[in-house]
Amino acid sequence: MEPPCFDIDGSPVYVGSAIFENCVHPCKIAPQLIPACRVPYGGVELEHRGRYDLLPFDPETMVWVSTSRGRIPYGVNPVQGGYEENGTSLYHAIGVVDGVRVPGKAGMHLGGCSVPFNGVEHTITRNYEILCWK
């Protein structure tokens, strides 16, 4: 499976969902990191040590769609990657930090996307991508 992203050192980075007790958050999965699952949460790159699911990206049925400010572009069907404790949907997203494409989460209530990179939660409000069904 071809990874949708590569870390700064060229190693593969995958898309996934981190399972918490009362919520599920889209995350990045980087096998070279310990732990491999990282979630943008509370301003940090949270090292998730619990269960997570790897999303097998399928270019035949999925596409990355550019967007900004939490919007879901007209006519697309985003792939739900999780939900907040209150049930609000979260979607798989990719944002660029220092020239590196990083998987993370997006939601209309977030006003953009959040990605975990270099120990920090980065918020990107313009020109990021959300994963959608073709």
Q: List, for residues 47-93, the tens digit of each pLDDT value.
A: 999 999 999 999 999 999 999 999 999 999 999 999 999 999 999 99
Angle at the Cα of 19 from the Cα atoms of 52 and 86, rounded to 5 degrees: 155
Q: What is the pLDDT of residue 2?
A: 85
- Residues with Cβ < 8 Å from 78, sequence gap 6 or more? 65, 72, 91, 92, 130, 131, 132, 133
Cα 113 to Cα 21, 34, 55, 105, distances in angstroms: 22, 24, 18, 6
Domains of the chain, by residue range, sit at: 5-133
Q: What mean pLDDT, rounded, does the chain reach?
A: 96
pTM metric for this prediction: 0.96
